[in-house]
A = this chain, B = another copy of it.
Amino acid sequence: MTETAALPEAVDEIRSVALRAREASYELAVATRAAKDAALEAMAEALTARSAEILAANAEDVARAEAAGTPANIVDRLRLTDDRLAGMAQGLRDVAALPDPVGEVVRGSTLANGLELRQVRVPFGVVGMIYEARPNVTADAAGLCLKSGNAALLRGSSSARSSNAAITAVLRDAVASAGLPADAVQLVPGDTHESVKALMRARGLVDVLIPRGGAGLIRSVVEESTVPVIETGVGNVHVYVDAAADLDKALAIVLNAKTSRTSVCNSAESLLVHADVAADFLPRVVKELQAASVTVHGDDAFGAYDGVVPATDEDWATEYLSLDIAAAVVPDLEAAIGHIRRWSSGHTEAIVTEDLAAARRFTAAVDSAAVMVNASTRFTDGGEFGFGAEIGISTQKLHARGPMGLPELTSTKFVVTGDGHVR
């Protein structure tokens, strides 16, 4: 069991910002699309108009990180430039261009007694985001929440605290200048883990929490939070090459899934190959993977090839996010399904096959957010799926599963209209 008590002052601070967010959410919930889009445009303009103060704050974060000996690639992720600010502004304009999910009638009918029933999309209210990533997430999250009518409570990483404070200040002014409440966008006060704990226990004050970041962050939020959580992003992703696979397609898909971008959750981490095609496929795939600097962690069958290192259970379980892949030969399709059931994190799995029955069985039996047939696992992405903006990729089954767009940041309510109806 995890210790979840937070210090009283942290609880009071969260309570105070959450209540202000709740007040703001009442205005946001009834704001028109035109009003929200105008605010998003004002936010985009402000990011570039006030770039000097944001870059100055960012320089503080960068200097602190460098002084602490932070690796250069991490410092680079932290660093903002005029180009990156322009990208953040464009992201806000892209969100403005998306349809407003609020007010969509999801379902509706007239009941036998004449009552008119409508199920309508409404905002959650107050959305908490806890993230470790680059400071651009602060603007992304604020924009997505505002467009979906939600007040945002943002808790970024402490390494980006100066940048996040400056970005939030700029965005709040812009929201207010467009006539919506500045408290639609708030940074969670405090820089300690206490404030995160208090946020996670603010059930009733915060409607949903979305953690974005590494597996450790997400696990701790999932375990400690009494606020409902949408779990995102851990991907122990498998590609299964079937007996009936086109091996050229299989090779292209494995290489794309593993090497096109290793640090993302939809990249492949494990390769399973049907025994019938192992003699043909293994030499080709091992050679090409190694030519792309990938270390193959293989079972005995893969172990017969030079440079393959032996795989342990830890390899089957690992989301490498690096130029490594676990690889095994399986006797048949059911064994592949069994392996995936045991080890997958339920993000994305792919089968490569020309056999319709195998494709049908795999897509029915594999219980992951996305199941691909003859396509790279890298396609599991809100942009690729045509959803426009992406809040994250849900790997839980409740509420949203897979890439989440704006509608996934909403709830619904039933509006029932009668003329004095009683039961």
Pair A396/B228 contact, Cβ less than 8 Å: yes
Q: Across the two chains, which residue of chain B brings its CB closest to A5?
A: B1
Pair A416/B373 contact, Cβ less than 8 Å: yes
Pair A368/B413 contact, Cβ less than 8 Å: yes
Closest Cβ–Cβ distance, residue A194 to chain B (whole Å): 14
A46-54, A152-160, A276-284, A374-382 - the one binding chain B:
A374-382
Q: A78 within 8 Å of B by Cβ? A: no
Q: A193 within 8 Å of B by Cβ? A: no
Pair A369/B414 contact, Cβ less than 8 Å: yes
Pair A385/B398 contact, Cβ less than 8 Å: no
Pair A371/B111 contact, Cβ less than 8 Å: no
Pair B124/A397 contact, Cβ less than 8 Å: yes
State whether A367 and B413 are in contact (beta carbons under 8 Å apart), knowing that A4-B1, A208-B397 are contacts in the complex: yes
Pair B370/A417 contact, Cβ less than 8 Å: no
Considering the chains assembled together, what is the distance between the CA atoms of A367 and B248 in angstroms?
A: 55
State whether A398 and B4 are in contact (beta carbons under 8 Å apart), knowing that A26-B365, A417-B373 are contacts in the complex: no
* Residue of A208, A412, A423 with most partner-chain B CB within 10 A: A423
Pair A111/B422 contact, Cβ less than 8 Å: no
Q: Across the two chains, which residue of chain B brings its CB closest to A250?
A: B420
Q: Which residues of B have CB within 8 Å of A416?
A: 370-373, 375, 379-380
| 1/0 contact string of A401-422 vs chain B (CB within 8 Å) | 1110000000111111111111
Q: Across the two chains, which residue of chain B brings its CB closest to A228?
A: B398
Pair A379/B423 contact, Cβ less than 8 Å: yes
Q: Which residues of B have CB within 8 Å of A86?
A: none
Q: Which residues of B have CB within 8 Å of A207?
A: 397-398
Within 8 A of B (CB), among A197-226: 203, 207-208, 222-223, 226
Q: Which residues of B have CB within 8 Å of A208?
A: 397-398
Pair A398/B397 contact, Cβ less than 8 Å: no
Considering the chains assembled together, what is the distance between the CA atoms of A80 and B324 in angstroms?
A: 61
Q: Which residues of B have CB within 8 Å of A369?
A: 413-414
Query: Among B122, B124, B365, B376, which residue has its beta carbon within 8 angstroms of that of A423?
Result: B376
Q: Which residues of B have CB within 8 Å of A1?
A: 3-5
Query: Among B371, B398, B411, which residue has its beta carbon within 8 angstroms of that of A401?
Result: B411
Q: Across the two chains, which residue of chain B brings its CB closest to A363?
A: B415
Q: Which residues of B have CB within 8 Å of A29?
A: 364-365, 367
Q: A271 within 8 Å of B by Cβ? A: no
Within 8 A of B (CB), among A248-284: 248-249, 252-253, 255-257, 260
Q: List 5 A-B contacts (CB under 8 A).
A: A111-B386, A249-B420, A256-B422, A379-B421, A401-B411
Seed contacts A30-B364, A373-B418, A378-B423; 6 additional CB < 8 Å A-B pairs: A26-B365, A207-B397, A246-B420, A260-B423, A372-B416, A398-B398
